[in-house]
Amino acid sequence: MAEAVGFEEIHKIYPDGNAALRGVTFSVESGEIHGILGENGAGKTTLMRILYGEIKPTAGKIRVFGREMRFSGPWDAIRAGIGMVYQRFSLIGGFTVSENLVLSALPLGMGASEVISRAGDVMSETGLRVSLDARVEDLPVGERQRVEIIKALVRKARILVLDEPTSVLTPLEVRELFKVLRRLRDEGMTILFITHKLREVKAITDRVTVLRRGRVVGTVRTDRVTELDLARMMVGREVLFSLKRSDREPGDPLLEIRDLRVPGEGSREVRGVSLTVRSGEILGIAGVQGNGQRELVEAIAGMRRVAGGRVILRGEDVTNLPPSEIYRRGLAYIPDMRSTGLVMDLDLVSNLLLTRLEEFSPGGLIRWGRASEETRRVMRRFNVVAASVRTPAGRLSGGNQQKFMLGREISREPDVIVAAEPTQGLDVGATEYVRRVLMELRDSGKAVMVVSTDLDEIMQLSDRVAVMYEGRIIAQGPAREFDADRLGLLMGGVEIA
C-alpha cells in the first residue's frame, strides 16, 4: 500500500530540557485504521499536534502522501488533507450545525451554499446523519462527535486523526462510530486512532504503533497480537487485567442520598436520586457524561447547593455544609477533571495543602517541612514520578497527576471515597494501579462510590451498580444482574423491565 503519513526521526525537546519525542519513525498506510498506543506522557498527543501543525518538531521530517511537509499552523495541515477530532469538541454550542460547518470552512474560501451542499453529500456517502438546523448544545454527545467528523470531511480531509474518540460514548454509540470508521476506511480514508482502550484497538484498527517514553517500541498488525502483548509493549512489564476480589458482606451504611434534587441545565439536573453506599462495598454509577453525575457528586462533596433531599454521612446530615466540614467528617472527593482537583501552576506541596491545610497549620502557621515530608510519602506510596515536591502539578503526566490526587485524598484515611472518572485518559499501567487502590479501600472497610462512563471499569470494580440517565437513577442492583449490553441500553435511556 502507498504511504499516507510518514514520520522520520521526529524529535521534540522543550526549552526546559524535557524530551517528549526521541527519534520517532514509522509509516501509516493509505486506507488503513492505524492505532497509536502509549502510556501517559509517551508522546502520542505531541506527535499528533506536530502532524496537525500546532507545534513544530525540534528535528525530523513528516511526509504526507509522499511529499515532505512543513506546517506553519493547523490551516496548512487542513489544506494538506488532514482533519483532527479532539477529545473535547471544538464546536460553538449556541450555533446550529450548519453555522458551525460554515464557520469552520471560511478560511478555505468555501461559501455557505458550497458547505451545506458538501455536508449533504458527506452525510449521504458516510451514513453520518445529523440535522443541520439543530443547535449543537441540544445534541447528544454522539451526534456532536458526528458533527466534528462531518466538519473534517467537508473540509476534504483524507487523513482523519481521532483523539480518544469513544471516551464519552455509550457502547451503542461506539458500535455506530466503528461502522462509520470502517466505511470511511473502505472508501480510502486514512484514520489515526488514539486510545488507551486495548479492546477497542483490537476491534477497529488494522495496525498499531506503540510509543513508550517518546520512542517507538514497534508497529504490529493488530490481528497478530493479543491485548496482553500490547499492554506489555506499552508499559514494559506484565499487566494484570483482572482484579482479585474477595466476597464479603457489606457493613453499615456510611453514605446515604435521600431524594436528592440539585439544579442543573437540562439533563444535568438531579431529580430525586436516592442511593446508599455501605462499608466494604463499591457502588458504581454508570452513565453517559452530562446526565447529572457531576452535579450529584459535587452536591455530595458540598461544592454545589442542594435544592431538596438529604446527604447523610456516617449518620449525620451534612446537606449544604461547606466542603471543608464534609471533608473533616470523613469524606474524600476525587473530581472527574484533574484541573478541578489540582492547581496546575502550584507545586505538589501546595497542592497537598489544598485539602489538608488544617493538618499542617496548627495556630495558623503552615509547617512546610512536615507538609513536604508528607508529600514525599504520598509520592513514594502512590508511585508518583516527579523531579521533586516543588515541581508544579502541571508538569506531571496525566497519570501521575491522577495518582497524586488520589494519594492526597486516600492518605487522610477517609471513611467514604467518591471518585468520578478515576481512570479517564489514563494508560493501562496507571489504570491498573488506580483500580487496585480502590479495591484495597473497599477490602479495608471503606465505602466507595465510583462514577464512570467506562463499562469495563464499572463491571470490574462494582459490588452494586446504579445507572443514571437525565438526572434520575433508572436502574440499580447487584453487579451480577448487569452485563455490557444491558448497561449500554440503560445508559442510552432504554429502561428494561
As averages over each run of 10 residues, the pLDDT of the chain (497 residues) reads 92 83 94 88 86 93 93 90 83 90 85 90 84 87 84 90 78 82 92 85 94 90 90 69 73 96 86 96 90 93 95 96 93 88 94 91 91 94 86 84 89 93 75 86 95 86 94 93 84 73
Instruction: Verify that 390 and 470 share a domain, yes or no.
Output: no
- Give domain status of residue 23, yes or no: yes
The pLDDT of residue 53 is: 92
- Crossing angle of helices 484-491/171-186, nearest 10°? 90
Distances (CA, A) of 480 to 21, 63, 118, 464, 487: 44, 51, 48, 8, 12
Considering the domain boundaries, does residue 179 fall inside one? yes
Domain match, 425 and 404 both: no
Q: Which residues pair with 11 in a beta bridge?
A: 22, 59
302 and 359 share one domain: no
202 is a domain residue: yes
Pick the last residue of a domain from 182, 204, 235. Answer: 235
| 485 within some domain | yes
Same domain, 33 and 145: yes
Handedness of CA 5, 429, 284, 379 (dihedral sign): negative
| Per-residue model confidence (pLDDT) at position 36 | 93
Please report the pLDDT score of residue 251 as a whole number.
93
On whether residue 294 sits in a domain, the answer given is yes
Total residues found in the chain within this entry:
497
- The CATH number assigned to the domain holding 7 equals 3.40.50.300
Q: What is the per-residue pLDDT for 237?
A: 63
Name the residue among 323, 314, 260, 195 with its Cα closest to residue 468.
Answer: 260
390 and 291 within one domain: no
Host H or E run for residue 104? helix 97-105
Same domain, 403 and 430: no
Q: What is the largest CA-CA distance in the chain?
A: 71
Residue 264 is predicted with a pLDDT of 85
Where would I find the H helices in 382-444?
398-410, 428-443
Backbone angles phi and psi of 403, in degrees to 5: -65, -35
Verify that 352 and 472 share a domain, yes or no: no
Cα-only R_g, the chain: 24
Cα–Cα distance for residue pair 52/250, rounded to 1 Å: 51
User: How many structural domains are present in the chain?
Assistant: 3
Domain end point (choices 235, 254, 281): 235
Pair 357, 451 in one domain: no
User: Alpha-carbon dihedral of residues 221, 223, 226, 232, nearest 10 degrees?
Assistant: 10
CA-wise closest residue to 440 among 304, 305, 244, 291? 244
In a domain, 337, yes or no: no
Q: What pLDDT is attached to residue 303?
A: 93
144 and 9 within one domain: yes
Residue 336, in any domain of the structure: no
- Residues 356 and 291 both lie in one domain: no
Last residue of a domain, one of 352, 380, 412: 412
Note whether residue 375 is domain-resident: yes
Answer yes or no: do 445 and 312 share one domain: yes
Look-up of cell digits 526549552: 15
> Contact at 8 Å (CB) between 165 and 195?
yes
Domain that holds residue 373: 344-412
Q: Given this model, what pLDDT does residue 371 score?
A: 95
Residues 386 and 489 in one domain: no
Q: Given this model, what pLDDT does residue 399 score?
A: 74
